[in-house]
Amino acid sequence: MGSTADSGTYFRKGFGLKADVEGELSADYSGQIVDFLRANDYTLVESGTTIRLAREFGFCYGVERAVEYAYQTRRKFPGRPLYLVGEIIHNPHVNDRLREMGVTILEGGDAGFDFSGLGPTDVVILPAFGVTIDDFAALRELGCVLVDTTCGSVLNVWKRVEVYARDGFTALIHGKHYHEETRATASQVRKHANGHYLVVRNMEEAQVVCGFVEGRLSRQALLDRFSPHAVSPDFDPDMHLKRIGVANQTTMLASESLAIAAEVGDVMERVRGREARERDFRSFDTICSATQERQDAVRELLAEPLDAMVVIGGFNSSNTISLTALCAERVTTYHVESPEGIDPIAGTIHHRPAGVEHREATSADWLPRGEIRIGITAGASTPNSKIGEAVQRIFETRAGK
């Protein structure tokens, strides 16, 4: 994928319309309550309730850039059909706002995206997660105008994975095999004929790989665990786990990514010796800086006495899920997709429990009585406006007690 405009049909650097869309972006996503918190040591106290906001939260640079480019694209092509390959980021408010602006969000699945009917008159936005090399090639073949908002941190991981494939290393990717970013990253190995990948969700799955390397697990048992969705086509553990390069989805829990890399490297050294580790194992920390900063800020906040944490972000947002997992290790934590999940009248909160995917819960009387301290953070795809609304609803809930 290129990095500059290409004959007027591929754009990655926007259209020079930043000033034209700044007012609209501010109206849609900024928040006065967040501004107040920032100006007051990230603290707001009222009627016995203290809100403490993590010092790094919400929109990161990559998300801001992607959303801004989408707004610029609508302004640049006011009369053209405008499409988006999946969600631009994992935030329902942002994606709904784009639909209101006339952007058609294409739905994908295991079979991929259906681009039939698209052609040179159509403008297609590529999301912050990026797209697979097959999807990119298909859109180029159709002659669509492409606006590429892929995050720079994601592109860095792609480069690393491609180098692994070029040098004969299988990419062991810490991520979710079904996530748009990981699917796009894994596809990069196919730029080389002998490129292969294996995706592990967590340390438990990494230990399965280690078990095979140590000879404790059979070839078939490993394939039964990961094939077909989490491994490259024609993946052969006997051949393709001799040389391993570790990478990760940029929004995973950084400490777990580092631990997985260390474990795999240690196992290879125990089984094959230090020289083999130096020759046949590579690892680079590809967690993006914004993800790391938000996780570090949460750890700092959790060092304080808190009665609960509220984490705001899409239920399908990987970086938000990672923040929730961190918080839940120390304090009662509620992951809400939007402020509307907090119902001041009913006194309930609709949330996704930490460590549980695809299940939601509604909890009553979730705020303790008496003087309380509530921590707040938000995933990298959550606008400040939604953070402020959540804070307001917490105070309204307390007022109703």
- Classified as helix, coil or strand, 368 is coil
- What would the two tokens of residue 243 be? 């040389």
Rounded to whole angstroms, how far apart are CA atoms 56 and 42? 10
Whether residue 99 contacts residue 121, with contact meaning beta carbons closer than 8 Å, is answered with: no
Angle (CA) 8 66 249, round 5°: 115
Rounded to whole angstroms, how far apart are CA atoms 394 and 49? 9
Whether residue 261 contacts residue 191, with contact meaning beta carbons closer than 8 Å, is answered with: no
Kindly list the strands in the beta sheet with 308-312, ordered across the sheet, starting from the edge strand earlier in the chain.
43-46, 49-53, 372-378, 308-312, 333-336
Whether residue 373 contacts residue 304, with contact meaning beta carbons closer than 8 Å, is answered with: yes
Active site residue 181: yes
The active-site residue, picked from 162, 180, 181, 205, is 181
Q: Who's near 165: CB < 8 A, 6+ residues apart?
A: 171, 188, 189, 190, 191, 192, 194, 195, 196
The residue with tokens 């553990």 is 237
Q: Which residues have a catalytic role annotated?
A: 181
